[in-house]
């Protein structure tokens, strides 16, 4: 794209100089001629401006960022089409003068755990605000995190954002092309889909890079790096750099799991855990909850009432006696006071309402005077409460208060995810407040994290399991169903996490519920090949077995009977099916064996499952069968004895 510096966009924004250029747009430093201030203007490349899909996506970026109001998110101020001059689709943002986090890492290298957390918390706070209203950034990387010259951290470029406020998700192809592969989550690489947990993964990679000074994976090509994100586990930062707290190390490992279900559910949960680690490293941080550069200032609305101005006539009714001029030098005789003056000076008796108002005003004046005295003298005479009690144990806090002549009382015990059990959460008065000598300071003590044990729900119905979870302050999450040959339909098989696991209030517990045994179609194989019946029944999921019997009506090798009968109905998977296969007829006919040698005749009879008895006569060397009993063609049962005479 050619440099548009010097152009006037939309009759308002004068492009001063090119700031940066990417695959989709170019960013300029511009002057808002209407408000006389510098802004950043992002202009889509001309070859994309004709593509409706890209234009809509560009506009979604404006809507995504404009929907967010947070001190750590670059504010979007305007969006439009340049109707006059160079055709352009543009976006106007606040101008952040400074550098990117990428530049900072390049200059500084690996940061300490405290510095890393210091950078991450405002970023997490910004992304958490987006996740709270259903917006996913999708392209978090150090290049999109800006550090202003006054130290403010800003998250920029919600161009890949997606949520209910923006529209539909991008395809896998566009997501991979437009995202930065070193920070893409495995699900973005594989399926082109992303949710809040995908941003958590990218934030985990950024945290890894802040701590170690390098990315977890490198390769010869983007495809190679993407492959490693999908197939390899991100190593723990402590494997490269020593001195990283175990809790911080474990959190980053969890945030970069390949399976999204194993990560924090969104940036809000990630931020909460990061703050807990910050307090763990510095307990005094428990009293700080703002990432703002300045504390908020409450601007009170000015009174709309006008001040009252004393009337010039008021002095005349104030009881002041005005002297009257005489005709001789203007003096009033001392021995004869004027009747007019006397009349004006005379006070009327005050009404009951006026007297009551005077009493009230007097009492209020006493209260005001007492408050002024307490603020100026009374408070100064008290004993100051130590400012470092938060984070101490009850015993240590009591000792510290005793040292300055104060006592301690536990006013409340509450659960805390940040302050360890038995430690002080807050005091009343707070640190620096005044208490009279020998007075008591109220302590709020931590009961530690609030946890609820997952109950045993195996064997319960789904409704009963849900009620038991609610009784234990937990929520039933995903309910999956599966066939089970031994557990009845609608009965819980197991829970995830398992029974006995300690969870926070309102945590989700997934259930696996039985659908009962899986029913399969059972066909009849009577008259069909026994081998075919055995193979097909086994492949279908039944347990088939074969026995053999004689049959005069069913061909040898065919199925005589089947138990249970197969008539096109259903039977549970794993049902045992008994097959009876024909061995052929129970009777056979005696064959013609005359002139056969003894060996050949014997073999033929044995093949018919007949017993053979041989009688030998004569002196011939080559003897053959000369007689058969029973006679040829006689029907006999298998196993009967046939006598042959050879001679």
Taking only the tens place, the pLDDT of each residue in 221-247 is 777 788 788 888 999 999 999 999 999
Q: Are 15 and 4 in contact (CB under 8 A)?
A: yes
3-state secondary structure of 203: helix
Among 174-188, 258-272, 299-313, 547-561, the minimum mean pLDDT is found in 299-313
What is the per-residue pLDDT for 171? 35
Among 600, 553, 559, smallest CA distance to 577 is for: 559
The 3-state DSSP class for residue 251 equals helix
The residues with which 625 forms a beta bridge, in sequence order, are: 646
The dihedrals phi and psi of 172, each to the nearest 5 degrees, come to -60, -40
Distance between alpha carbon 422 and the CA centroid of its chain, in Å? Answer: 30
pLDDT of 586-604, one tens digit each? Answer: 888 899 999 899 899 999 9
**What are the respective helix, strand and coil percentages of the chain, to the nearest 5?**
30, 25, 45
Contact 185, 260 (CB under 8 A): yes
Q: Among candidates 33, 55, 28, which has minimal Cα distance to 44?
A: 55
Provide the β-strand partners of residue 9.
13
Backbone φ and ψ for 150, nearest 5 degrees, come out as: -95, 10
pTM for the model: 0.46
Q: Given this model, what pLDDT does residue 250 score?
A: 95
Across 78-82, 161-165, 250-254, least confident range: 161-165
Structure tokens, 321: 């006696």
| Token code pair at residue 635 | 């029907």
Place of tokens 């400074």: 98
Spatial separation of the C-alpha atoms in residues 448 and 418, rounded to whole Å: 8
> Is 170's pLDDT higher than 60?
no
Contact 263, 233 (CB under 8 A): no
DSSP character for 461?
B
Cα separation, 490 vs 494, in Å, equals: 12
Average pLDDT over residues 297-307: 37
The domains found in the chain, sorted by start residue, are: 8-94 (3.30.200.20), 100-281 (1.10.510.10), 384-446 (3.30.10.20), 452-514 (3.30.10.20), 519-582 (3.30.10.20), 587-646 (3.30.10.20)
Pairing of strands 440-446, 424-428: antiparallel
Residue with tokens 């747009």: 25
Specify the residue for token string 């279900």. Answer: 261
Least confident of 19-28, 341-350, 508-517, 519-528: 341-350
d(CA 492, CA 457): 7
- pLDDT recorded at residue 326: 39
The neighbouring-strand residues paired with 424 are 445
Closest CA to 642 of 64, 26, 50, 633: 633
Query: Rounded mean pLDDT of the chain?
Result: 81
> Which residues does the annotation mark as catalytic?
139
Phi, psi of 539 (to 5 degrees): -65, -30
% of the chain beyond a pLDDT of 70: 81
Q: Give the model confidence (pLDDT) of 469-514 as tens digits.
A: 999 999 999 999 999 988 999 999 999 999 999 998 889 999 999 9
Residues of the chain above pLDDT 90, percent: 38
Can you tell me the distance from the alpha carbon of 399 to that of 388, in angstroms, rounded to the nearest whole number?
12
pLDDT(314) > 80? no
Q: What is the pLDDT of residue 414?
A: 86
Q: Which residues contact 247 (CB under 8 A, 6 or more apart)?
A: 276, 277, 280
Going by pLDDT thresholds of 50, 70 and 90, the confidence category of residue 290 is very low
Tokens of 159: 């161009």
Over range 35-56, report the average pLDDT: 82
Q: What is the pLDDT of residues 336-390, one digit of tens each?
A: 444 444 443 444 455 666 666 677 777 777 776 666 655 555 544 578 888 778 7
Quote the pLDDT of residue 226.
81
pLDDT higher than threshold 90 for residue 199:
yes
DSSP helix/strand/coil, 449: coil
> Which 3 state secondary structure label does DSSP give 127?
helix
The region of weakest confidence among 27-31, 73-77, 187-191 is 187-191
Work out the pLDDT band at 425, boundaries 50, 70, 90. Answer: confident
Distant-in-sequence contacts of 275-279, Cβ < 8 A, 24+ apart: 275/121, 275/418, 276/247, 276/417, 276/418, 277/117, 277/245, 277/247, 277/248, 277/251, 278/117, 278/121, 279/391, 279/418, 279/419
Q: How confident is the model at residue 333 (pLDDT cuts 50, 70, 90)?
A: very low
SS3 (DSSP) at 398 = helix
pLDDT band at 201; cut points 50, 70, 90:
very high
- Which residues have C-beta within 8 Å of that of residue 114, sequence separation ≥ 6? 281, 282
**8 Å CB contact between 562 and 579:** yes
Torsion over CA of 131, 132, 135 and 141, rounded to 10 degrees? Answer: -30
């Amino acid at each position: 794209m050619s440099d548009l510096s010097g152009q006037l966009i939309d009759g308002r924004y004068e492009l001063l100089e090119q700031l940066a250029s990417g695959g989709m747009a170019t960013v300029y430093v511009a002057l808002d001629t209407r408000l006389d201030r510098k802004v950043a203007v992002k202009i889509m490349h001309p070859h994309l401006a004709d593509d409706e899909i890209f234009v809509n996506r560009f506009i979604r970026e404006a809507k995504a960022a404009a929907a967010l109001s947070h001190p750590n998110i670059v504010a979007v101020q305007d969006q439009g089409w340049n109707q006059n001059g160079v055709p352009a689709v543009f976006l106007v943002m606040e101008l952040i003068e400074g550098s990117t986090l990428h530049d900072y890492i390049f200059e500084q290298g690996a940061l300490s755990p405290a510095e890393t957390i210091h950078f991450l918390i405002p970023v997490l706070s910004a992304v958490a605000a987006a996740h709270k209203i259903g917006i996913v950034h999708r392209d978090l990387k150090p290049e999109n995190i800006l550090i202003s010259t006054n130290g403010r951290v800003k998250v920029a470029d919600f161009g890949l954002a997606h949520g209910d406020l923006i529209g539909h998700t991008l395809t896998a192809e566009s997501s991979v092309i437009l995202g930065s592969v070193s920070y893409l989550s495995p699900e973005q690489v594989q399926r082109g889909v992303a949710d809040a947990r995908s941003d958590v993964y990218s934030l985990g990679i950024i945290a890894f890079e802040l701590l170690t000074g390098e990315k977890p994976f490198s390769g010869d090509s983007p495809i190679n790096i993407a492959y490693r994100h999908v197939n390899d586990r991100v190593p723990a930062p402590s494997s490269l750099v020593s001195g990283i707290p175990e809790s911080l190390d474990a959190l980053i490992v969890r945030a970069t799991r390949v399976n999204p279900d194993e990560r924090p559910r969104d940036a809000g949960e990630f931020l909460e855990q990061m703050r807990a680690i910050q307090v763990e490293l510095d307990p005094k941080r428990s009293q700080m909850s703002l990432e703002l550069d300045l504390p908020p200032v409450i601007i009170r609305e000015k009174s709309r009432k006008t001040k009252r101005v004393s009337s010039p006539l008021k002095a005349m009714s104030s009881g002041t006696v005005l002297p009257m001029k005489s005709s001789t030098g203007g003096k009033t005789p001392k021995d004869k006071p004027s009747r007019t003056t006397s009349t004006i000076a005379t006070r009327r008796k005050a009404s009951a309402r006026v007297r009551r108002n005077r009493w009230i005003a007097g009492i209020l004046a006493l209260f005001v005077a007492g408050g002024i005295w307490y603020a100026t003298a009374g408070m100064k005479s008290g004993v100051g409460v130590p400012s470092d009690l938060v984070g101490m144990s009850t015993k240590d806090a009591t000792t510290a208060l005793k040292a300055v002549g104060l006592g301690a009382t536990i006013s409340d015990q509450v659960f805390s995810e940040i302050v360890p059990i038995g430690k002080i959460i807050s005091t009343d008065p707070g640190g620096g407040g005044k208490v009279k000598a020998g007075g008591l300071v109220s302590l709020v003590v931590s009961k530690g994290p609030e946890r609820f044990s997952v109950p045993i729900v195996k064997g319960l119905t789904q409704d009963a399991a849900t009620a038991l979870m609610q009784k234990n302050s937990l929520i039933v999450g995903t309910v999956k169903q599966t066939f089970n040959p031994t557990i009845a339909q609608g009965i819980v098989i197991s829970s995830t996490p398992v029974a006995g696991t300690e969870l926070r209030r309102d945590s989700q517990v997934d259930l696996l519920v039985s659908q009962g045994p899986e029913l399969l179609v059972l066909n009849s194989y009577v008259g069909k090949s026994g081998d075919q019946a055995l193979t097909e029944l086994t492949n279908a999921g039944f347990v088939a077995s074969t026995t053999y019997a004689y049959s005069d009506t069913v061909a040898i090798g065919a199925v005589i009977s089947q138990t249970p009968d197969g008539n096109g109905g259903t039977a549970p998977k794993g049902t045992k099916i008994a097959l009876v296969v024909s061995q052929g007829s129970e009777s056979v006919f005696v064959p013609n064996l005359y002139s056969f040698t003894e060996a050949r005749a014997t073999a033929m009879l044995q093949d018919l499952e007949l017993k053979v008895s041989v009688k030998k006569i004569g002196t011939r060397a080559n003897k053959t069968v000369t007689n058969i009993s029973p006679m040829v063609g006689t029907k006999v049962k298998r196993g009967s004895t046939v006598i042959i005479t050879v001679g």
